[in-house]
Structure 1
Amino acid sequence: MAGKEFTVDLNKPLVFQVGHLGETYQDWVHTPILTEGSPRFFESNFNEMMTRSVWWLVPVIWLPVAFYFIKMSHSMGLTLPLEVIMSIVGAFVWTFHEYCLHRFLFHLDTKSYWGNTFHYLIHGCHHKHPNDGLRLVRPPAVAAIIALMIWNLYGILFTHSIRSVMFGGGLIGYVIYDITHYYVHYGQPTKQSMKSIKKYHLNHHFRIQKKGFGIPTTLWDRAFGTLPKTKAAENSG
């Protein structure tokens, strides 16, 4: 069925429908539905469960894993000061990984059936349903796949002891990222710094989806020219 003729039925599981939108998918997925419900993705209850996660599972699962890997580096002879420094470096490097994933993978322009389906599953669903509280953090299985990819990459780049502490620090960075992401959608920040992050991220959702890829920092957007202009700057330009 041609994309222009297809209408997604929101009362049925969505994932295997969206591919039929074809070239109209990008417009559809970036037109948000602002209700706070959690739409059904799959007929299978198991598959459906794997797409959802409560926010508190992120620190409960991944902080112990992070400290386990940092402790591994200590057992390999790394000193405590170096562990602390490399953990911070690992968390910082994670922000770059996240920026790259968000910019180059999560915002792919797709129009084929499987391209649209894949995009919707990994990120498009979040833009279509930004208030879905059960899909604001990564499900553990998805996070584990990304973590395994980074672990293997670090095996090429670093020695065993540095690999472990960098990976552990990266997991701490990931926890900070995902909890911040949840908070900017559902929290009501009072500090100006968090208000700015919330405004910056919601601007990415509702005004300029092709810019503003960083959470919780704008550093990489500034470095690579993807920091969106303010409305005042746009009007003056």
Structure 2
Amino acid sequence: MKNLTANRIIEFRQQIKCIGIFFLICIVPLALANWFSENRLVFHIILFIDGWLTWTFIEYILHRFWNHSKSADKQNAIVQRHLHHHTHPTEIKVTGKQRLAMVLIGFVLISISSRTDNFITFLAGIWIGFFWFFMMHYFLHQRWSKKVFPRLLEYHITHHCKEPDRCFGISCTCWDLVFGTGPSSKKLISEKVTAFYFKGHKHD
């Protein structure tokens, strides 16, 4: 019980530290957006990038502190579902309806932001970031990804099979770099590990 409480305190402090650093970093693009407010194209580009960056941080926080929480109850549904994903890495699917819905929502947000000419572009950036994460996670569990996204694939395999407490970034690895949770070594991924990761896929 004491260890559980101690872990909760440690994780809480780590999250607060991460969030604080994130806000300090994001102040810069917001200040730039305000600085270039008269140039609407630059204004919207900066806001969109900042929105995307915000999603990558949310992705990192959720993956590190929610999916891999050391203080959560072992029967926690979120932790259990993610643990199942680690032990059954190929059981991940993205339906055509899901893809279509995400594309349509992204299109609507971008259309609204272009018409209203305001900070909704930031939300569009977050949504596109989420969509890219959603698809990228699916891509990284397909054999063909080793030809298209070799570095991200190796990074994700490291998280899945070698260092589950590191390499939390999926669509973007920058926050692992910022917070020191990247891979602890640069050892090559063995064929045995790769075979486990892709088990269930019979074709490249």
TM tier, smaller: 0.5 to 0.7
1:48-96 superposed Cα distances (whole Å, 9 cap, x missing partner): xxxxxxxxxxxxxxxxxxxxxxxxxxxxx99343222211211122111
The secondary structure found in structure 1 opposite 2:118 is: helix
Partners of 2:182 and 2:87 in 1: how far apart?
22
1:119 corresponds to which residue? 79
2:131 corresponds to which residue? 175
Q: Aligned-pair distance for 1:181?
A: 1.1
1:224 aligns with 2:179: yes
Q: Which residues of 2 match residues 1-237 of structure 1 at below 5 A?
A: 79-109=40-70, 112=73, 114-115=75-76, 117-121=77-81, 123-134=82-93, 161-162=118-119, 164-189=120-145, 191=147, 194-232=149-187
Partners of 1:91 and 1:133 in 2: how far apart?
24
The secondary structure found in structure 2 opposite 1:161 is: coil
Counterpart AA for 2:121: V
More relative contact order in 1 or in 2 (CA 8 Å, sep 6+)?
Answer: 1
Does the 8 A contact of 2:74 with 2:80 survive in 1? no
The secondary structure found in structure 2 opposite 1:182 is: helix
Partners of 2:64 and 2:187 in 1: how far apart?
25
**Cα separation, partners in 2 of 1:82 and 1:181, compared to 1, 3 Å:** same
The secondary structure found in structure 1 opposite 2:63 is: helix
Partners of 1:128 and 1:209 in 2: how far apart?
11
Structure 1 consecutive aligned stretches of length 4 or more whose deviation exceeds 6 Å: none
The secondary structure found in structure 2 opposite 1:227 is: coil
Structure 1 residue runs of 5 or longer lacking an equivalent are: 1-76, 145-159
Q: Aligned-pair distance for 1:195?
A: 0.5
**TM value normalised by structure 1:** 0.49
The secondary structure found in structure 1 opposite 2:169 is: coil
The secondary structure found in structure 1 opposite 2:164 is: coil
Partners of 2:147 and 2:85 in 1: how far apart?
26
Partners of 2:78 and 2:92 in 1: how far apart?
21
Partners of 1:133 and 1:230 in 2: how far apart?
28
- Aligned-residue sequence identity (percent) comes to 31
Q: Aligned-pair distance for 1:219?
A: 1.0
Partners of 1:101 and 1:205 in 2: how far apart?
16
The Cα RMSD (Å) is 3.1
1:156-185 superposed Cα distances (whole Å, 9 cap, x missing partner): xxxx932x2211111101111111111111
Q: Aligned-pair distance for 1:229?
A: 2.2
Q: Aligned-pair distance for 1:231?
A: 4.8
Partners of 2:176 and 2:85 in 1: how far apart?
20
Structure 2 residue runs of 5 or longer lacking an equivalent are: 1-37, 103-116, 189-204
Partners of 1:165 and 1:224 in 2: how far apart?
27
2:31 corresponds to which residue? none
Counterpart AA for 2:46: I
Counterpart AA for 1:209: P
Counterpart AA for 2:92: G
Aligned residues: 133
